[in-house]
Structure 1
Amino acid sequence: MFTKLLIANRGEIACRVIKTARKMGIATVAIYSDADRNALHVRMADEAVRIGPPPANQSYIVIDKVMAAIRETGAQAVHPGYGFLSENPKFAKALQVEGVAFVGPPVKAIEAMGDKITSKKIAQEAGVSTVPGYMGLIADADEAIRISGEIGYPVMIKASAGGGGKGMRIAWKEDEVREGFQSSKNEAANSFGDDRIFIEKFVTQPRHIEIQVLCDTHGNAVYLGERECSIQRRNQKVIEEAPSPFLDAETRKAMGEQACTLAKAVGYASAGTVEFIVDGARNFYFLEMNTRLQVEHPVTELITGIDLVEQMIRVANGEPLSITQDDIKLNGWAMESRLYAEDPYRGFLPSIGRLSRYRPPAEEADATRAVRNDTGVFEGGEISMFYDPMIAKLCTWAPTRAAAIDEMRRALDGFEVEGIGHNLPFLSAVMDHPKFVSGDITTAFIAEEYPDGFEGVTLPAEDLRRLAAVAAAMHRVSEIRRTRVSGRLGNHERHVGADWVVNLQGESFRLSISADKGGATVVFADGGELRVESDWTPGQPLARLQVDGAPLVLKVGKISGGFRIRSRGADLKVHVRTPRQAELAALMPEKVPADTSRLLLCPMPGLIVKIDVEAGQEVQEGQTLCTVEAMKMENILRAERRGVVARVNAVAGDSLAVDDVIMEFE
């Protein structure tokens, strides 16, 4: 077995590989850019080597620099993680020449399956079901439009060397093909150094279901069930689960066998994933093969008990698989929520900055439940604009799907992240969404259920009532603390009244509190009662409570006259007032936000790639104004209405912060 392993990656996946290597007794080497000098994977590894400036094309994906780190440290094997060099055959060849083991598939398999055009041709020849499309090279936008018309709209424009949603667009008409073709080429060139594009039919009402395969160098191949990855945004997965709530045993077997057939056809050896699009009738079509470890591999590990990273290392060491297809049993259900540094209230645009608070739920596992958090960050660390915005992968396991969802709800409730925009509220909202809970999902779920973006959850009346009772009980505790701190004499409780008015989400609740040593009984004006118990103290950002015996976890912040409470996707300002204060508050005028309708504001920290208009130019609704690049994605900003550009304040190459004014209108 190898004694030293270099991880040619960063972030959570580098940390994940280090954990398994440590368990196997293998020393680890991290590589890092200047932006990652203090990163968690650098701290965890036994050794670390600097490889260059922050941009990935000057550090992590420069083969010569990675090879120099290998030589410097004497690493015998390299695990590439995912992204970066993981599916780069030139890197695998360089390792081969150096005599260093690549913890991944053979070069020929990477070349065959890493190119989406070639892979589809091989899949067809192997008898694997494929989606209709044009597999040849496409010269320009005009040819892309002609091909799209022949295939029939809608079509999917994809980067041949792509992955992770980069270089991918759906087009429903000619104009969208022309625009999407160029953006896809640009993203592909920037992310992968390869701007080749192909086009295929976009299957409507699709589910994205993938099969995990594991192969060795002795001709053995097994499949480890499937993962449902249909909850996607911008073609990037957000929530995954295993198994799929849609597949039956017959379809699972057919997909697994086709996946293994394809793997054997290219001489595959290592862990790999064969992705399929599955329609409502359980017809499945080959999409692509990822010749690497997938981001969502933990859910497969949780339902099979198999450590995929360990298996990859053993295969790279020349060992035969120690398991057969009959050994693989799917046990229970697992969920994965990807925590991204992106603001769901601003169209999921990337967010960067310092993690002023980062407290994930405790990892634990027993026979009835499990919580796992794969992460590469820590409290006080920086989220950089140079890399993928994923912060962590929160996973839960339970014997049933419903129980796994419940575990995920609780884990998300207790996950504390402050300092940046993040998608925790959205993840919580999905876990409570009736369509998701029922398993009735497609890849269009987010677009259909949140067509205008995510604006937070509107809580039902019963939940508001619970929060009102809780807020009143917490406010009482805060008031008692305040009177103690003030140094007033006498019994402090005489200064805290029993009657309160709680306002939240446009609703008002009149109530009174009767407290004792065990908690508080809250009586509403209509005679209803709720019992609130908790050991929460003022200043704690997480409140764990019992309301009539049912657990409730809230994120709590202090605001003037009350609290900011976040719960299950809702972000509420909750005001707790005496009856007289409530009377007076009702007479106060509301503050009107500033008018920014004549400004184009930068929606995220990013780089101006292109300005498409100039001062004095008339623009129409929907017209492209400029392109902003952030975290490896191009974002096109369009005119919201007809108007005339008065002033342009930025040029291509400018780095802007959130809400910087890009241009002004008359």
Structure 2
Amino acid sequence: MFKKILIANRGEIACRVIKTARKMGIATVAVYSDADAGALHVRMADEAVHIGPSPANQSYIVIDRIMDAIYASGAEAVHPGYGFLSENPKFAAALDKAGIAFIGPPKRAIEAMGDKITSKKIAQEAGVSTVPGYMGLIADADEAVKIAGQVGYPVMIKASAGGGGKGMRIAWTDHEAREGFQSSKNEAANSFGDDRIFIEKFVTQPRHIEIQVLCDSHGNGVYLNERECSIQRRNQKVIEEAPSPFLDDETRRAMGEQSLALAHAVGYASAGTVEFIVDGDRNFYFLEMNTRLQVEHPVTELITGIDLVEQMIRIAAGEPLAITQADVGINGWAIESRLYAEDPYRGFLPSIGRLTRYRPPEEVTETTRAVRNDTGVFEGGEISMFYDPMIAKLCTWAPTRSEAIEEMRTALEAFEVEGIGHNIPFLAAVMDHPKFVSGDMTTAFIAEEYPEGFDGVTLDRYDLRRVAAATTAMNRVAEIRRTRISGRMGNHERRVGNHWVAQLQGEMFAVRIDADPEGSTVTFDDGAVMRVESDWTPGQPLARLSVNGDPLILKVGKHTHGFRVRSRGADLSVTIRTPRQQELAARMPEKTPADTSKLLLCPMPGLIVKVDVEEGDEVHEGQALCTVEAMKMENILRAEKKGVVARINAAPGDSLKVDDVIMEFE
């Protein structure tokens, strides 16, 4: 067995590999760029080697820099994680030439399966059903438009060396095919150093289901069931689960056997994933094989009890698999939510900055439930614009799917992240969505259910009353504390008063609070009564309460005359006043926001890649104005209405902050 391994990656996956290596008694070496000098994976590893500037194309994906780190550290093997060099055959070849073990598949398997075009041909020869498409390389945008028309819209434009949603676009028209081809080509070049593009038919209303395989160098192999990955946004997975709520045993077995046949056809040895599109009749079609560890591998580990990283290390060390297909079962249900540094209220645009608060829920492993959080960040750390926006992978396990969902709801409510925009409210909303709860979803779930984007959850009247009852009871506690601090004379509780008016989500609730040592009884003006119990104290950012015997978790922030409260995907401004204060407040004029209708504001921190118009140009609704690159993704900003460009304030190469003015209109 190896004594020391180097992890050629960063963030949560580097931390994940370090944990297993430590468990196996193997020393670890981290690599880091300028931006990652204080990163968590650097802190966790036994050693760390600096490999260059912050951009990945000057550090993490420069083979020579990684090789220098290996030589300097004396590592015997390298785990590549996912992304970066994990599926680069040149890297595998460099390691082989240097006599360093690659904790991944053989170079020939990476070459065969890493190229999406070649992999489809091999899959067809191995008897795996594939999606119709054009298997050759595409020279330019004109050819892309021609081929798309021949295949038939809609089509998927994909980077041959792509993965993780990078370099992928769906086109429904010639215009979208032309534009999507160039954006996919640019993203592929920046993310993978390979800008080859191919086109395949886009199957509408599909489910995305993948099979985890594990093969050794002695001809043994098993499939570790499937993962459902249909909750996606822009082809980037957001929520995964294992097993799938859609598959039956017969389909699972057929998909697993075909996946193993494909793996054996290319001499695969390591952990790998075969991805499929599955239609409503459980017909499945091969998409691609990822010759690496997947982001979502924890859910497979949770239902099988098999540590995939450990198995990869043992296979790379030449050990035969100690697992047979008969040993692989399905124990319970697991769900993974990907926490991203992106603002769901601004179209999920990337968000960067310092984590002023980062408090994940407690990790537990019990016979009836489990909570796991794979992360690469810490409180006070920075979310950089140079890498992907993932903060953490929050996973829950329980004996049944409904119980696993409930565990996830609770874990998301208890997850505290401040300082940046993040998608926890959206994840919480999905956990409560009827389609997700029923398991009736496709890869079009987000596009169909949130066609105008995500504006938060609107609570029903009962849940709104629960929040009103909880916050008025909390406000009473805060008021008592304030009167004590201010030194007011007399009985503090009596001076605070019992009657309050709570205003939230456009509704108003007049209540009376009767407190006792165990809690508060909140009576609404229509006679409804709710019992609130909690040990919350003013200043705590997380309130755990019981309302009518049911748990309620609130993320709490203070503002004038009340709280900012976040719960189950809702973000509420709760104003609490005395009846007299409310009467006077109703007479106050409202402030009107500044008019920005004639400005194009930068929606995210990023780099201007391209400006498509000039001053004086007349633009039309939907016309591309400029392209902003952030966290390895290109975002095309378009005109919202007809107008004339009066002034352009940014040029290609400029780095902008959120709400910087890119251009002005007449």
What TM-score do you get using the length of structure 1 for normalisation? 1.00
Equivalent runs, 1:361-510 vs 2, <5 Å:
361-510=361-510
Displacement of 1:549 in angstroms is 1.1
Displacement of 1:145 in angstroms is 1.1
**Aligned residue pairs: how many?**
666
SS in 1 for 2:608: strand
Q: Which amino acid aligns with 1:133?
A: G
Match of 1:610 in 2: 610
Match of 1:574 in 2: 574
Equivalent runs, 1:293-372 vs 2, <5 Å:
293-372=293-372
SS in 2 for 1:537: coil
Quick one: distance in 1 between partners of 2:382 and 2:633? 19
Displacement of 1:142 in angstroms is 1.2
Match of 2:518 in 1: 518
Match of 1:123 in 2: 123
Q: Which amino acid aligns with 1:568?
A: R
SS in 1 for 2:318: coil
Quick one: distance in 2 between partners of 1:57 and 1:243? 36
Q: Which moved more, 1:561-570 or 1:483-492?
A: 483-492
Quick one: distance in 1 between partners of 2:556 and 2:447? 30
Displacement of 1:489 in angstroms is 2.4
Match of 1:665 in 2: 665
Displacement of 1:376 in angstroms is 0.1
Equivalent runs, 1:539-578 vs 2, <5 Å:
539-578=539-578
Displacement of 1:405 in angstroms is 0.2
Displacement of 1:143 in angstroms is 1.0
Match of 2:207 in 1: 207
Match of 1:76 in 2: 76
Match of 2:153 in 1: 153
Match of 2:45 in 1: 45
Quick one: distance in 1 between partners of 2:403 and 2:493? 42
Quick one: distance in 2 between partners of 1:458 and 1:377? 31
Q: Deviations over 1:347-375 (max 9, x none)?
A: 00000000000000000011100000000
Match of 1:261 in 2: 261
Q: Deviations over 1:217-267 (max 9, x none)?
A: 000110000000000001000000000000000000000000000000000
Quick one: distance in 2 between partners of 1:494 and 1:42? 55
Q: Which amino acid aligns with 1:336?
A: E
Displacement of 1:587 in angstroms is 1.4
Match of 1:589 in 2: 589
Q: Which amino acid aligns with 1:440?
A: D
Q: Which amino acid aligns with 1:232?
A: Q
Quick one: distance in 2 between partners of 1:494 and 1:547? 24
Quick one: distance in 1 between partners of 2:290 and 2:539? 47
Quick one: distance in 2 between partners of 1:625 and 1:153? 25
Q: Which amino acid aligns with 1:313?
A: I
Q: Which amino acid aligns with 1:394?
A: L
Equivalent runs, 1:233-252 vs 2, <5 Å:
233-252=233-252
Equivalent runs, 1:218-237 vs 2, <5 Å:
218-237=218-237
Quick one: distance in 2 between partners of 1:75 and 1:135? 40
Q: Which moved more, 1:490-499 or 1:389-398?
A: 490-499
Q: Which amino acid aligns with 1:35?
A: A
Q: Deviations over 1:612-636 (max 9, x none)?
A: 0011110011000000000000000
Q: Which amino acid aligns with 1:595?
A: D
State the percentage of identical aligned residues: 82
Quick one: distance in 1 between partners of 2:642 and 2:488? 62
Displacement of 1:14 in angstroms is 0.1
Quick one: distance in 2 between partners of 1:272 and 1:526? 60
Quick one: distance in 2 between partners of 1:73 and 1:653? 37
SS in 2 for 1:162: strand
Quick one: distance in 2 between partners of 1:591 and 1:208? 47
Match of 1:109 in 2: 109
Quick one: distance in 2 between partners of 1:284 and 1:413? 36
SS in 1 for 2:166: coil
Displacement of 1:490 in angstroms is 2.3
Match of 2:637 in 1: 637
* Corresponding position: 1:91 with 2:91: yes
Q: Deviations over 1:625-655 (max 9, x none)?
A: 0000000000000000000000000000000
SS in 2 for 1:167: strand
SS in 2 for 1:161: strand
Match of 1:25 in 2: 25
Equivalent runs, 1:267-306 vs 2, <5 Å:
267-306=267-306
Quick one: distance in 1 between partners of 2:216 and 2:294? 18
Q: Which amino acid aligns with 2:78?
A: V
Displacement of 1:146 in angstroms is 1.1
Quick one: distance in 1 between partners of 2:568 and 2:192? 37
SS in 1 for 2:177: helix
Displacement of 1:527 in angstroms is 1.0
Q: Deviations over 1:32-64 (max 9, x none)?
A: 001000000000000000000000000000000
Q: Which amino acid aligns with 2:618?
A: E
Quick one: distance in 1 between partners of 2:631 and 2:335? 25
Q: Which amino acid aligns with 1:55?
A: P
Displacement of 1:514 in angstroms is 0.3
Quick one: distance in 2 between partners of 1:284 and 1:601? 43
Q: Deviations over 1:181-225 (max 9, x none)?
A: 011101101111111000000001100000000000000110000
Quick one: distance in 2 between partners of 1:586 and 1:115? 64
Quick one: distance in 1 between partners of 2:488 and 2:642? 62
SS in 2 for 1:285: strand
Match of 1:134 in 2: 134
Quick one: distance in 2 between partners of 1:306 and 1:108? 26
Q: Which amino acid aligns with 2:28?
A: T
Quick one: distance in 2 between partners of 1:32 and 1:141? 37
Quick one: distance in 2 between partners of 1:490 and 1:344? 48
| Aligned-pair Cα RMSD in Å | 0.5
Displacement of 1:86 in angstroms is 0.2
What TM-score do you get using the length of structure 2 for normalisation? 1.00
Quick one: distance in 2 between partners of 1:189 and 1:610? 16
